[in-house]
Amino acid sequence: MRLLLPALAALVITAPAMAQQARPAPVLTTPEAKDVWTHAEPQVARVTHVDLDLDVSFESKTLSGRALLDILPSPGAKQIVLDVDDLDITEVTTADRKPLRYTVGPRDKELGSALTIDLPATGNQIAIRYSTKPGASALQWLSPELTAGKKLPYLFSQGQPINNRSWIPTQDSPGVRQTWSATLTVPDGFVAVMSGERLDGAKGELVPHQKRRFRFKMDKPVPSYLIAMAVGDLAFKATGPRSGVWSEPSMVEGAAYEVGDVEKMIDAAEALYGPCRWGRYDMLVLPPSFPFGGMENPTLTFLTPTIITGDRSNTDVVAHELAHSWSGNLVTNATWSDSWLNEGFTTYFENRIMEAVYGKERAAMYADLDWDGLQSDITDAGGQAAPTTRLHGDPGATAGQLDYFKGSTFLRTIERAVGRERFDAYLRSYFDRHAFQPQTTAGFLADIRKNLIRGDGALEDKLQLDRWAYQPGLPENAVHVQSATLAKVDAQLAAVKAGGPVSAVDPKGWATQQWLRFLNGLPRQQTPARLKELDETLLLSGSTNAYVRSAWAELAIANRYDPALNSIQVFVNSVGRGLLIRPIYEGLMKQGEWGQPIAKRFFEGARSTYHPVTAAQIEKIVNK
């Protein structure tokens, strides 16, 4: 059940900074919607709008300035609780600079601190003046040497899941949606971009002291993790009337080619589930240290450069982040215990976009490979009974990419049971009903029962909804889509596994997914001679495809194959995407006295090139 906080309706309508929205997005108050990863108490008092005015200093590696928050208290509320992580707070006042009493609680190494502020006697705005620390977990400051152009430093943020509290003092929970506006002041010669509407031209406005000012706004309520920014030597190239690519100048042409089908994807997505409500769909291709494949920041998806392979075989990443414009950004998991509502829905939707643009077989290839990933995640978790194979569970505890793979398989199973046309109509209505609202697993199950199952007991029994959502493992009604393209790869793989020569393999024209099917399907135990044959015949160590390099590294490490180590070291020093480098470090650590010193040596050399999120993950792996 979705409930609005006790509302002061007149306050919501008349407050000047709330002009963008007639009323704030709801906050869920059901037990399942309680977010254990926030200090905030939004049922008492909540943030509805954030206005940032920040100066970017590459010299000190800090952001400094002011956050002005619009507050909506419940009747009788005396304080508001925010999330912060290692911010240097210098002043908390009303909008007209009258001091407000505040306390910063002890710092939890995972959740940061609670910032508790006495509410003003009059008015609904709080101003916080502060600066970030150089080690802020959401921010990565890159030296010029770590960029493509090698001329200017670079800054970017990564907020998901709870890192934005290290640069924005607000209620950092996906269940608390807020509008925002921002002014970034940067050194002259730099360009700033953000995940909102640009209010100035591409070069901003020149201001005193050789600086430029860029202004942005987001007038639709979003969870705070979707506030994102980047500053660097950036150029733009349009890919269509609603889309374009930002990147460093030397990369912009290649990036624009790689994502050149994005307008077709937007058309396909809108035909499926209704208009995209965010305006533009621009993309930013970041330096290699970006920790993820993509991040679905509204109006400005962040993308890893590892998708640029010149053949558009990794455009599923673009389709995935576009699909988040509905599943995740429009309807958002209320807590990170339900991240499958973002990622599972989006993986299913992504596949439908790929089918519409590239055909059924291309989509089948992705779905079949996801099935492989699902089986692997279940095995690695400890089998069908492992608690971490549940969709709804402890936040951050789900095995591998199971939120993506099991979640999308769940929806595909429902589609097969009720028919595509009926399921599409339901999903379109679901996004409309819950637009700009948080959601829980219980909320989704109640909605599908009311609006799709409608009391059909036989269909309820067939779907096994509760088992999919709350029980471990994979129900027996799971739908496995099989690809004819990958079946041909399997035939060549079988010949090699039977002892046939690698030279008989014909990888000409293989997309990333075919390479992965082959390499991941090879037995983990190989002789040095066979590894040498694989490497020299298929040119694995010198591949320019990051997915291929990562899969080859895993196989080589599993066999303690020393000749591949130089290539692996170069790879982990040049790629910061966690999906591609985590398995390498994990594999090395599993190799005991041979691999553990290598893992620590590689990490020591590469750590400074990783985003803080990735560095923290790898540090946990190598220090086990």
Q: How far apart are CA 507 and CA 538, in angstroms?
A: 8
Catalytic (active site) residue 321: yes
Catalytic residue among 248, 258, 296, 321: 321
3-state secondary structure string across 77-126? CCEEEEEECCCEEEEEEECCCCECCEEECCCECCCEEEEEEECCCCCCEE
Q: Give the type of residue at 12.
A: V
Measured CA to CA in angstroms, residue 41 lies from 36, 47, 584 at distances of 11, 10, 40
**Token match 């066999």: residue?**
559
Q: What is the DSSP string of 193-249?
A: EESSEE-S-TT-EEETTTEEEEEEEEEEEEEGGG--EEEES-EEEEEETTEEEEE-G
DSSP 8-state code for residue 535: H
Catalytic residue among 130, 273, 404, 610: 404
Q: Give the type of residue at 261.
A: D
Catalytic (active site) residue 366: no
Burial of residue 373, with CB atoms counted within 10 A of its CB: 0-12 exposed, 13-18 middle, 19 or more buried: middle
Q: Which residues contact 300 (CB under 8 A, 6 or more apart)?
A: 193, 194, 195, 196, 228, 246, 282, 283, 284
Q: How far apart are CA 359 and CA 353, in angstroms?
A: 9
3-state secondary structure string across 555-591? HHHHCCCHHHHHHHHHHHHHCCCHHHHHHHHHHHHCC
Cα 502 from chain centre? 37
Active site residue ranges: 321, 404
